[in-house]
Amino acid sequence: MPSILVYLLRRILQAVPVILLIMVGSFLLIQLAPGDAVDALVGDMGGADAAFVERMRQEYGLDQSVLVQLWRYLVKLAQFDFGWSYVYEQPVATVLMSRLWVTMLLMVGALSAAFVIGVALGTLAARRAYSLTDNVISTLGLIFYAMPSFLLALLMILVFSVKLGWLPVSGIKDIGAFHTGWRLWVDIARHLVMPVAALSLIYMAFYMRLMRTSVLEVMDLDFVRTAKAKGAGGRRLMFHHVMRNALMPVITLLGLQISTVLGGSVVIETIFALPGVGQLAYTSVIKRDLNTLMGIIFLASIIVLVVNIVTDMIYAWLDPRIELQ
């Protein structure tokens, strides 16, 4: 379908100014921070003489005008060169790439769990609207929505690790076990159960509430009445006619929330000591590693923009009324 390609290209072009703004913005933030990269380096070395500091500044281009520095910064970012991490003694891009998979697993796990369970419970609540089931589900939804993820994480640790001893408290795998093959994946999955649950619960509550309202709304529409009149009932009506349409706002919300989920992974990865990008963000704040923080912001923004474009495509595919334009 060429129209899809044209649409895709247009969306990518639309994302360009946003990315540029983020790049300029992060440069300005670094400028606002007290001290520069050389100060940090010299501080790490425990001081150096003025001539050496001057030479370092020249080497890093910090003696140039702000505009020249901005231009150089943009060119570097566009090549995915986020500079050097003084904490990890590696290029920031290398550090990020070695940790990205953990965060991706966590995010995909949390969002899929939230989506599947939230949609199922929301539909159930709507089908039995105002019954006891609905009240229980809706009340739980309100509580989960107000529950801070870190509190939930600690409570789960207390129950499932400390009291019951079922699940590991921290890390992404057993360090000393040297599992390989499927055993390694089982091990990783065991380590991810609690983080995924803690991160997903609030989104589950969102999707549940939204799905409930959405199903109730769609069930009121004329085409559902027509379908009922023509004899479609029970499961077929629910899955084929109602849910397909009721899912649309949930998918929109899912796409919009990628960015919040990435933010939430900071707290969760820190609690469970998962070696992902979120935990990296936390240690970078503690150690004032601005290069790494800016790298994280840039990478996260790219992920969010890509996911948004993909959600739009899914949306258009689900709803043929929407023209790709």
Verify binding: residue 157, other proteins, rule CB under 8 A.
Answer: yes
Other beta carbons within 10 Å of 252: 14
User: What H or E segment, with its residue span, contains residue 90?
Assistant: strand 90-91
Verify binding: residue 300, other proteins, rule CB under 8 A.
Answer: yes
Those residues whose C-beta lies under 8 Å from the C-beta of residue 322, and which sit 6 or more positions away, are 315, 316
Using CB under 8 A, pick the residue from 82, 102, 290, 295 that binds other proteins: 290
Using CB under 8 A, pick the residue from 3, 148, 170, 314 that binds other proteins: 148
Strand partners, 84: 91
Q: Which of residues 1-30 bind other proteins (CB under 8 A)?
A: 17-18, 21-22, 25, 29
Q: Which of 252, 289, 281, 251 is nearest to 264 (CA)?
A: 281
Smallest gap from Cβ 142 to other proteins, in A, equals 6
Specify the DSSP class assigned to residue 164. S
Those residues whose C-beta lies under 8 Å from the C-beta of residue 208, and which sit 6 or more positions away, are 117, 118, 119, 121, 122, 125, 137, 141
Verify binding: residue 197, other proteins, rule CB under 8 A.
Answer: no
CA 135 – CA 112 distance, rounded (Å): 24
Using CB under 8 A, pick the residue from 64, 252, 259, 311 that binds other proteins: 259
Q: 192 or 299, CB closer to other proteins? A: 299
Smallest gap from Cβ 271 to other proteins, in A, equals 8
CA 194 – CA 35 distance, rounded (Å): 40
Using CB under 8 A, pick the residue from 147, 221, 232, 273 that binds other proteins: 147
Residue 274 near residue 102, CB atoms below 8 Å: yes
Q: Which of 107, 147, 299, 134 is nearest to 208 (CA)?
A: 134
Verify binding: residue 131, other proteins, rule CB under 8 A.
Answer: no
Smallest gap from Cβ 182 to other proteins, in A, equals 33
Smallest gap from Cβ 195 to other proteins, in A, equals 15
- Contacts with other proteins by CB under 8 A lie at 17-18, 21-22, 25, 29, 32-34, 142-143, 145-151, 154-155, 157-158, 162, 213, 217, 256, 259-260, 262-264, 266-267, 270-271, 281-282, 284-285, 288, 290, 293-294, 296-297, 300-301, 304-305
